[in-house]
Amino acid sequence: MKTKYFIVAGLLIVLLALVTSGQAMSQEKRVVMDRSQVRELNPEDINDWRGKTVMIFAPHPDDDLSPAGTMAKLVKNGNKVIVVVYTTGNKGSRDLEMTSERLAQIRKQEDIAANKILGIKEENIIWLGYDDGMLEYVPEKELCEKVCWLIRKYRPDAVFCHDAGTDWMQWHKTDHRMSAFITLDGARAAAYHLYFPHHRIYEDLQPFTVMDYFFWGSHEPNYNVDITDVIELKFEAACQHVSQFGKGNFKYTGPVMDTEDKENIRKRYMRKGPDGKMYENFRRLQGSRSF
């Protein structure tokens, strides 16, 4: 019943949004529209989602930790999570013996292990394979097309990525900057068949409009997800990234994390809010006002 209510509310919202952005259409016309163009809004409460497809766009193989609790919950509720990782993370080590090819291999395994704990299968992780720290120097149009292609292919009900909002300017790794922008740019391009039209001509990939965005790392969060009951999963996932957190970043000795480092991670993750619960915060942008 709650679900039904949200569907109705969602439809009202999407119609309102379309009207507001000057793309209104009469209700009786909707049935003849292409199926990709008009869809119900997602339920407001992410806990009510079932059977949804969610995509995460992470610049490095450990940035998917940011929304990891939310992902664990979504998977438990029968939603599908696709993780897109822009770079191989092949520079992020202070171990002077480490080489870039070896680091890429280590971090791939770490991320697979971490996602497995969250319930995300290896085949749902997509590796774009760019060099760590170099994402801003990749030809943008080509990168935009890749994101566009992925969006048209997987047609996600929601997209999670870094916030491209104002705050990141103060200090941001270049890859974070780029991933924040290009994810939005690619997603927007996906909505119109005349962008990269060969996707449709050669692969029958139809346009698709993302209707729900969740930005992590935002200074203007407007949506919280209670992850108290999955915090242990998130903690365990974080502990897979041995090459990144703790001594492994200075001297990598294998895929098992040092006890002391684990303890430090635990302390960071177990910070509770005033209500004794733990949250992941997002800036959420729903509807199509963005176009």
- Return the residues of window 89-118 that contact a second copy according to CB under 8 A: 90-94, 96, 98-105, 108
- 281 forms beta bridges with 224
# binding residues, a second copy (CB under 8 A): 85
- Give the nearer residue to a second copy in terms of CB position, either 182 or 225: 182
**Distance (Å, whole) CA 34 – CA 189:** 17
Q: Which two tokens stand for residue 75?
A: 């998977």
Residue 89 belongs to what H/E stretch? none
Letters for 168-207 (x = contact with a second copy by CB under 8 A, - = none) are: xxxx-xx------x--xx--xx-xxxxxxxxx-xx----x
Three-state DSSP at 277 gives: coil
Please, what is the minimum distance in Å from the beta carbon of residue 4 to a second copy? 27
Which amino acid does the sequence have at 29? K
3-state DSSP helix/strand/coil percent for the chain, to nearest 5? 45, 15, 40
**In the complex, what is the shortest distance from the CB of residue 251 to a second copy, in angstroms, rounded to a whole number?**
8
Considering only 42, 66, 79, 88, the residue that binds a second copy (CB under 8 A) is 88
Going by the DSSP 8-state scheme, the letter that residue 195 receives in this structure is: S
Distance in Å from the first CA to the final CA of the chain: 32
Least distance between a second copy and beta carbon 48 (Å) = 25
Please give the Cα distance from 169 to 183 (Å, whole number): 17
Q: Which residues in the 117-146 window bind a second copy by CB under 8 A? A: 127, 129, 132-134, 136-142, 144
The least CB distance from residue 203 to a second copy, in Å, is 8
Residue 53 burial (CB count, 10 A):
15
CA distances from 240 to 20, 33, 62, 254, 282 (A): 46, 46, 9, 11, 24
In the bound state with a second copy, the residue whose beta carbon lies nearer, of 142 and 275, is 142
What does the chain come to in residues? 291
CB of 213 to a second copy, least distance (A): 9
Binder among 5, 260, 270, 277 for a second copy (CB under 8 A): 260
From 34, 12, 84, select the one nearest 54 (Cα to Cα).
84
- Examine residue 265 and tell whether it contacts a second copy (CB under 8 A): yes
CB of 51 to a second copy, least distance (A): 25
Binding mask 54-83 for a second copy (x = CB under 8 A): ------------------------------
Tell me 275's DSSP state: T
Taking the complex as a whole, the smallest distance from the CB of residue 174 to a second copy amounts, in Å, to: 5
Q: By CB under 8 A, is residue 165 in contact with a second copy?
A: yes
Name which of 22 and 276 has its Cβ closer to a second copy.
22
Q: In the window 20-39, what residues touch a second copy (CB under 8 A)?
A: 20, 22-26, 29, 33-34, 37
- Angle subtended at Cα 229 by Cα 223 and Cα 232, rounded to the nearest 5 degrees: 110
